[in-house]
Chains A and B, each alone.
Chain A
């Protein structure tokens, strides 16, 4: 979980120059312009790539799907990558240690380090490896509503007005998270729970190019933060330190958190056509998130709550696994507590409560194995994972183990979840 970020480790996205055919598909696909090329190589900018995986399946060769655990300070620059003839090997534990990353932290950070080494070996042996992303569905649940996407592409943003902005974590902490409400007036901007939008921060970067848009998940349900109004809400965490804990001001998140009511912002999107909620009355939703990954979960929960209030929803369970460092940092802690127990089954994990053992969402999932197994057996269950990239592998592995212990064949279950649009991963 956030351990990865603190230890200063990233999973750096790299392209294998030996397999890549320089077809430009990935560069044309990447929503945030993280990919660039020269006459020699195609490369990924470590500071721009957010691991959204949009480039993975369109790549015809598989060369795009390479990840290396790297100390942030030693992340390969694009200049370096442009000269490569083959991919560098994974850093050894000793090299990671030398870069100030303890073995424990590295292990904590990326449960998949061994899997990555295997992935390299797989090029020769073609052994299947555990790759959590492969279980993520690319299709929406069958009963999802139809999503509009890209109404405002990056080249032609629209304008929204800030109509609300408040801290939804406990006051007095640096790592505050804001709840922001944006109004679109009469501009059509239809969104569904699970979609995201992009905010373009004002100004230009060091080389005079307009800043790229940062993506934020919509935290409000389809009929608006305030029902009947053309508005959406976001859950934005102020980035005040980089992945190593060094102080740094995240450009867009601070801009957004500092907005005043009445300010206008440039918005692109909406994005996403598969991380969408099921609408049929018997569908169950299992939500697994950390930090601001709670935004889409809030949207889905709130939509179900409104439906229930209007008497329009029959059954369908809601189960939430939510992790944060401390209770104070958990967005929407107060409102969550007031939801009825028979409406939603809430499980909170805190990794930094003084005097208590660290608990991560996957630990809670294992504790609730019996209930999760029952849901895994039910074709009406849908699983959503959102939050920091480093949680994904652990969560999917936990699901796999729960399935196995319940005597289910994970290959069958995992494949069905993917095919039927019932397991969705969105990590960043």
Chain B
């Protein structure tokens, strides 16, 4: 059951061969997917053989198989975690009932919307990262980028499968549309703002994979609780893949910090200009990148009060992070949660019904997880004897969504006026000059075991391979 059939055109563990109509529909979508990959997938990589992880089954023994593969030959497919025939809905109004194997009519529109929104983020990040291969700081990093790219592609497949299988004609149309929207396109952009931002350089990429893929983790974890069992099983498996993406971000920034600290210690300086002149990225720039990616990502969780979130939860479509580990009643009626608003120029907290605040609950879970990771980055500085610490900005900083949208606020959480904002903006968020400087460091280093001067080598290779392993064979 858990073994994936690779002899089929579309590898799967869902007995696709037994549903001819569905199989034909997906086989119709597949060439468009390949065209999309060729047009906007990783630039100039067609002939590379990349040391990729591919799943042969969804159990621990089988899902992490490594080997050199051309990315275009990567077998994107449809893999669901094993099901549990007796699974029960464990939150919301349907608590205690049997999980759904099919979409109930009354939840159809909402479920489709959730799946389309999730699906839309997957190809978007491939598009956003399209040019990064040309400026990779090492062969090891290049491989990690490509691994992420193919897996985002597979996550798209996961959502497309659900749309085709469970949503009939409109599902097929939505699946088509996923390939027609393009990140940053003025006429037909991706659905969520952060997925239309550029990923111009590798520091941005690491920040993106740290923060934005972590948003992915929390969204997927909430969907993995869903009463709609096929969605829960798909996202559970996606979570295991997502972990690598966050790893690339977390270790990437750590390695940039390690290199910066090393240069600061060698030159005995904390002067940003001297650090830059030595070819490393100064801590101020790193902090500004962090502020930007963090604030853009927490917007992804949506408005702080949302009746949709309440409906999604009560109807069992989307749970909370680690729903099963929480000890409340899992219905949440009559409970409250604190959200922020600005009153008379001051930030204040107010209680709102918990069900309406579930976006905020998930955002706060995300924040806690992100902050812990920033603490681990600080350990790198601490160990190197550098007194500076990175911090995450205030939750209300640079927000574009919800009650805090457009409020001008310092990273510490002080409401500021337009004048101060304009004057300090470049201290708080990356400036054009910061971007230009980081861009100037982006060369291409791809001999095995060699690394660009602004980043340290990783502590260990992928799949216990040595760091100077030939992760990419250039064709």
Contacts and interface: CB of A to CB of B under 8 A. Distances in A.
B3 A273 contact: yes
A95 B37 CA distance: 58
Given A21-B246, A25-B239, A126 B460 contact: yes
A25 B82 contact: no
B467 A126 contact: yes
A139 B62 contact: yes
B51 to A, nearest CB: 14
A146 B62 CA distance: 14
B64 A58 contact: yes
Contacts of A156: 84-86
B244 A60 contact: yes
B46 to A, nearest CB: 26
B2 A150 contact: yes
B63 interface: yes
Interface string A100-123: 000000000000000000000011
Interface in B19-76: 56-57, 59-65
Interface stretch (B109-117, B161-169, B269-277, B368-376): B368-376
A61 B251 contact: yes
A155 B217 CA distance: 24
A153 B84 contact: yes
A21 B60 contact: no
Contacts of B368: 39
Contacts of A149: 1-2, 59, 82
A146 B5 CA distance: 12
A57 B64 contact: yes
Interface in B90-149: none
Interface string A55-72: 101111110010000000
A215 interface: no
A413 B375 CA distance: 44
B84, B242, B464: most-surrounded residue (chain A CB, <10 A):
B464
Contact of A28 (B65, B86, B239, B468): B239
B62 to A, nearest CB: 6
Contacts of A327: none
Contacts of A122: 460
A353 interface: no
B466 interface: yes
B217 A23 contact: yes
Nearest to A23: B243
Contacts of A39: 368, 372
Interface string A396-419: 000000000000000000000000
A23 to B, nearest CB: 4
A54, A62, A128, A146: most-surrounded residue (chain B CB, <10 A):
A62
Interface residues of A, number: 41
A134 B465 CA distance: 11
Contacts, number: 104
Contacts of B57: 273
A290 interface: no
Nearest to A156: B86
A87 interface: no
A418 to B, nearest CB: 11
Interface in B317-344: none
Contacts of B215: none
B240 interface: yes
B208 to A, nearest CB: 15
Nearest to A19: B459
B62 A138 contact: yes
A134 B464 contact: yes
Given A23-B217, A54-B61, A138-B61, A273 B239 contact: no
B451 to A, nearest CB: 13
Contact of A153 (B82, B251, B379): B82
B461 A126 contact: yes
Nearest to A419: B67
A188 B329 CA distance: 36
B435 interface: no
A328 interface: no
A57 B243 contact: no
B247 interface: yes
A33 interface: no
Contacts of B229: none
A122 B61 CA distance: 25
Interface in B246-272: 246-247, 250-251
A128 B239 contact: no
B296 to A, nearest CB: 21
B247 A60 contact: yes
A249 B369 CA distance: 41
Nearest to B461: A126
A257 to B, nearest CB: 29
Nearest to B460: A62
A55, A59, A134, A138: most-surrounded residue (chain B CB, <10 A):
A138
A25 B243 contact: yes
A278 B3 CA distance: 17
Given A21-B373, A139-B56, A156-B86, 18 more contacts: A21-B243, A21-B247, A23-B242, A23-B246, A25-B239, A25-B243, A29-B240, A31-B60, A40-B372, A57-B63, A58-B240, A62-B460, A131-B464, A138-B61, A149-B2, A149-B82, A273-B3, A274-B62
Give me the 8 closest cross-chain CB pairs, A-B, nearest first.
A23-B243, A54-B60, A60-B244, A57-B64, A60-B247, A138-B61, A60-B243, A25-B243
27 contacts: A18-B376, A21-B243, A22-B369, A23-B246, A24-B239, A24-B243, A28-B236, A29-B240, A31-B60, A39-B372, A54-B61, A57-B64, A58-B243, A122-B460, A123-B460, A126-B461, A128-B464, A138-B64, A139-B61, A139-B62, A146-B3, A149-B1, A149-B82, A150-B82, A156-B86, A273-B57, A274-B61
Interface of B: 1-3, 56-57, 59-65, 82, 84-86, 217, 236, 239-240, 242-244, 246-247, 250-251, 368-369, 372-373, 376, 379, 459-461, 463-464, 466-468
